[in-house]
A and B are shown apart, each in its own frame.
Chain A
Amino acid sequence: EVQLVESGGGLVQSGGSLRLSCAASGFTFSNYWMHWVRQAPGKGLVWVSRINSDGSNPNYADSVKGRFTISRDNAKNTLYLQMNSLRAEDTAVYYCARDRISIIATDAFDIWGQGTMVTVSS
């Protein structure tokens, strides 16, 4: 079964750090671009970051650029999001998502994890 499972969320103070993980199974992880998408409580979906299949080309939304770092370990089939200098507005459920087509980036997402909640207290 194709699956993504996030972990690492929790409660952190403003200015703090947190590292999210996303464990992939059931597919060839190293072939796919991967993404992080977040959703603030009661709000819509917002794309956060993406990384290419070998981890050499990360991209970020302006709202997180310079504070968040996306990375991956293809040997461990795991995607990461290191979040530093956290702000109250970063409070959200964070989803990892797989790009729809292998090798290239379409920026459409066909497999999603269940999400992990990050709460930043001010």
Chain B
Amino acid sequence: EIVMTQSPATLSVSPGETATLSCRASQSVSSNLAWYQQKPGQAPRLLIYGASTRATGIPARFSGSGSGTEFTLTISSLQSEDFAIYYCQHYNNWPPAFGQGTKVEIK
């Protein structure tokens, strides 16, 4: 099974700045990688699929990149509503697996 590792565990960022989150797969997942945002007490929300394609309704300040084993989620000009936990997830083969999450907090 593929193991997903996210870094850092916590990222402190000021509003208006850029946050860069990393996700590494234990073996290649091609571009079969999704990113989700989760706020306290809420369900996850799909942000990115195919490593770089924004889901419906997701603002352009969210961008994804990478392929193979190394992936990045970039959030530009952080807004107050962007402070949350972000999870990457591969769906290259079965079973799908999530990373442990990166918490983006206000600096």
Contact = CB atoms under 8 A, between A and B. Distances in A.
Interface stretch (B19-27, B75-83, B92-100): B92-100
A47 to B, nearest CB: 5
B98 A45 contact: yes
Contacts of A107: 91, 94, 96
Nearest to B49: A108
Contact of B89 (A59, A95, A108, A114): A108
A45 B87 contact: yes
A114 B43 contact: yes
Contacts of A110: 46, 49, 55-56
Nearest to B97: A47
Interface string B21-58: 00000000000101010100011111001000001100
Contacts of A106: 49, 91
Interface residues of B, number: 23
A44 B87 contact: yes
A110 B46 CA distance: 6
Contacts, number: 51
B101 interface: yes
Interface string A75-101: 000000000000000000001000010
Interface residues of A, number: 17
Given A108-B89, A110-B56, 19 more contacts: A44-B101, A45-B98, A45-B101, A46-B98, A47-B96, A47-B97, A59-B94, A95-B44, A100-B46, A106-B49, A108-B34, A109-B44, A109-B46, A110-B46, A110-B49, A110-B55, A112-B45, A114-B42, A114-B43
Interface of A: 44-47, 59, 61, 95, 100, 106-110, 112-115
B96 A115 contact: no
B46 A44 contact: no
B100 A44 contact: yes
B95 A47 contact: yes
A59 B94 CA distance: 9
B89 A45 contact: yes
24 contacts: A44-B98, A44-B100, A44-B101, A45-B36, A45-B38, A45-B89, A45-B98, A47-B95, A59-B95, A61-B95, A95-B44, A106-B49, A106-B91, A107-B91, A107-B94, A108-B32, A108-B34, A108-B49, A108-B91, A109-B34, A110-B49, A114-B42, A114-B43, A115-B43
